[in-house]
Structure 1
Amino acid sequence: MVRIVDIREVTRPIASPIRNAYIDFSKMTTSLVAVVTDVVRDGRRVVGYGFNSNGRYGQGGLIRERFAPRLLEAPPESLLDADGGNLDPNRVWAAMMANEKPGGHGERSVAVGTLDMAVWDAVAKIADKPLFRLLAEHHGVVAEPCVFVYAAGGYYHPGKDLAALRAEMRSYLDRGYTVVKMKIGGASIDEDQRRIEAVLAELGHHGHARLAVDANGRFDLETAIAYAKMLRRYDLFWYEEPGDPLDYRLQTALAEFYPGAMAVGENLFSHQDARNLIRYGGLRPDRDWLQFDCTLSYGLSEYLRTLKMLHEAGWSWRRCIPHGGHQMSLAIAAGLGLGGSENYPDLFQPYGGFPDGVRVEAGQVTLPELPGIGFEGKSDLHAVMRELAE
């Protein structure tokens, strides 16, 4: 019988002197967890790993004091699948959420999502399959290991002028990306327009490359509309999160002023909040994008409920491009046919990026056939993970 024998957590810095329109990252942290099982492969215990996405701080206290103890105290058989040969992520999730009231989808969703990532990693390793193939099999679809990725960057940084911003974006294009993203809303609208036009001028030298912009929820309705009127003169990939993530009225009103694609959802942390966005946010399923991040929103087990809701509401899963820039989102995109995944080529390392040797070609990456999520293929990340596990 498969058992979870230990759960370990460490909160580590991923600090950087960058900022977006709302926060700086000078004190940013992430929680790294290892879920140790009694299953042995090649002389080593199978360990599932997880961590939370950037932009939300590590949740070591909640993990160590509330959620990990529930898993370790649960009867081992209550966490297993019907055959008893593997962990059942949904049963594990239910054990973590025992004695939790509904609502309040804030910090606890990050703690649960971090552990959930590690559980899915362990489950796929025990099955000796890449997670993306396991997901495809469970849902009766064909896995698509070739996934669209875009490069997220363009942060505000002390001393970063337009030449430096152009050089950053050029470096992404030189590495094979066809879509790049930059921050707006942390400067005046006139300065942001100059920054946008500088990047677009750079992209003009690289064929059909596109630019997305991200306001990180900074604007009230009046400012969001002012930016929309400025932005609509450009052929942008999307206009991201203009206002507070729970201000569905703002999002609805903005569609009247911005005919192009908008992207939202990275700061909604439950399938109930995602459902309210779809019901009341005025989004357009023919052009807008959804960025729900499973590691911030109770994990893949909850994300699957969000995807079910989207299907019932008439949305294609192709409109989902998850936030986070990590291999978990990549695996979900490849296994379930999402529209792609975010990536941070130079930031938040070693947690972001791809396994060693994976290269971006024409805006896409091909996932290697590694068991689990594939962390073992990224040497700098795996070294940190093994240090925690051993």
Structure 2
Amino acid sequence: MRIVDIREKTVPIEADMSNAFINFSRMNVSVLAIVTDEIRDGEPVIGYGFNSNGRYAQGGLLRERIIPRVLEAPGDSLIGVHGDLDPELIWRAAMRDEKPGGHGDRAVAMGILDMAAWDLAAKLADVPLYQLLSDRARDPRTPGAPLEKVWVYAAGGYYYPDRGLEALQAEMRSYVDMGYRTVKMKIGGAPLDEDLRRIEAVLDILPDGCDLAVDANGRFELDRALEYGDALSAYPLHWYEEAGDPLDYDALRRLAERYEGPLATGENLLSFHEARNLIRYGGLRPDRDILQMDPALSYGLTEFRRTVAMLFDAGWNPNRCVPHGGHQFNLSIASAFHLHGCESYPGIFEPFGGFADGYPIEDGHVRLPDAPGIGLEQKKSLAPVLKDVLA
């Protein structure tokens, strides 16, 4: 059993919308396929991966450094104790001759490769990824059986040109109609008084049992973050997300000292070491705050396993984690590691956002497909994009 090819293709997911920091009109992702010489039902077994939205495609890094190292590795060096291709050994081969630090686009590129490697491993074992992770990769302090369903929330509420409050209300109402019970909207891309009107407009249409989170995407300096925090304290928000720069742990600590409601952050931390510094210095409160580290953007599940162990060691429970990303890879991880939940992007960042076809959102939760691997091919709109990588 060996890897015979690894291919990458850049795919656009542009949209005419913005958050507080970036416009998505030129957004794209890398889709990667690891092809093996293992034949099942007349076809080679292939693992697929891609990066979460918000970070751009990583074709150059993948093609010039990461993919060649894996293809150059002796075949036997990638076979693990279970007798098949091992994601952690693939990860080590890809990181050969890389210095510590420099967490940025490299972390994203490695996350793409790592997703494909775990998809491949589960397909070779002929089990869903969440079951493989529960059997082989979970921390022993995590309960055994994977979760049958995972809590998910609908992330939307972006800024669109010429789109007013009624359109925002209609969008959020549509998520509730789909079965979501928590919705999220953007703030920080408009003046405070306008953002407050947008928040109030959404709260006005949410039925009992539903709530709202807000996300500033790291827009604010400390004074502005505190000003927003003071104003947001008047509302029953699910959380206040990424008020300031993700690496400004001191500002986050000062915000946590003043804002009593739940805070959420972590999606733009791209390594185990940054996540550990967040826990050490960010002043977050294990009884209420949410960690959003995204394996697909931060060296993959292989690195995220270290983060989970660190959380246990630091007195946190990983059930405070709700990974950013809104796709099936993070959904499988949430199930296997008993995380609090997973983000979702209904109707945007297609075809990469969202989950398998035929699995509706039920009272804020979604079930996982019983298919080998991540189950990416179970999403009809995504399946041809995956195949096109090999065209």
User: Does the TM-score normalized on the shorter chain lie above 0.5?
Assistant: yes
Could you tell me how far apart the structure 2 residues matched to 1:299 and 1:4 are?
Answer: 19
Matches within 5 A, 1:119-134: 119-134=117-132
State the superposition RMSD in angstroms: 0.8
Partner of 2:159: 156
TM-score after normalising by structure 1:
0.98
Partner of 2:39: 40
Q: What's the CA shift string for 1:39-60, capped at 9, x where partnerless?
A: 1111110000000011000000
Shift of 1:256: 2.1
Partner of 1:170: 173
Partner of 2:375: 374
Partner of 2:329: 328
Shift of 1:379: 1.1
Q: Percent identity?
A: 59
Partner of 1:112: 110
Shift of 1:88: 1.2
Aligned length: 386
Partner of 1:189: 192
Shift of 1:145: 2.3
Q: SS at 1:255's partner residue?
A: helix
Q: Which amino acid aligns with 2:269?
A: L
Q: Which amino acid aligns with 1:156?
A: Y
Partner of 1:254: 255
Q: Which amino acid aligns with 1:187?
A: A
Partner of 1:76: 75
Shift of 1:89: 1.1
Could you tell me how far apart the structure 2 residues matched to 1:162 and 1:54 are?
Answer: 25
Could you tell me how far apart the structure 1 residues matched to 2:4 and 2:71 are?
Answer: 7
Could you tell me how far apart the structure 2 residues matched to 1:350 and 1:89 are?
Answer: 25
Could you tell me how far apart the structure 2 residues matched to 1:168 and 1:136 are?
Answer: 36
Say whether the 8 Å CA contact 1:343–1:352 is kept in structure 2.
yes
Deviating beyond 3 angstroms after TM superposition, the runs of 4 or more aligned structure 1 residues are: none
TM-score after normalising by structure 2:
0.98
Partner of 2:354: 353
Partner of 1:230: 231
Partner of 2:269: 268
Could you tell me how far apart the structure 2 residues matched to 1:43 and 1:380 are?
Answer: 23
Q: Which amino acid aligns with 1:350?
A: P
Q: SS at 1:49's partner residue?
A: strand
Q: SS at 2:4's partner residue?
A: strand
Shift of 1:383: 1.1
Could you tell me how far apart the structure 1 residues matched to 2:239 and 2:101 are?
Answer: 30
Q: What's the CA shift string for 1:289-331, capped at 9, x where partnerless?
A: 0000001000110011111111110111110000000100000
Say whether the 8 Å CA contact 1:47–1:389 is kept in structure 2.
no
Partner of 1:202: 205
Q: SS at 2:237's partner residue?
A: coil
Q: What's the CA shift string for 1:144-171, capped at 9, x where partnerless?
A: 1200000000000001100000000000
Matches within 5 A, 1:1-12: 2-12=1-11
Say whether the 8 Å CA contact 1:36–1:389 is kept in structure 2.
no
Q: Which runs of 5+ in 1 are unaligned?
A: none
Partner of 1:319: 320
Could you tell me how far apart the structure 2 residues matched to 1:157 and 1:257 are?
Answer: 32
Matches within 5 A, 1:276-295: 276-295=277-296
Could you tell me how far apart the structure 1 residues matched to 2:386 and 2:256 are?
Answer: 44
Q: What's the CA shift string for 1:167-187, capped at 9, x where partnerless?
A: 000000000000000000000
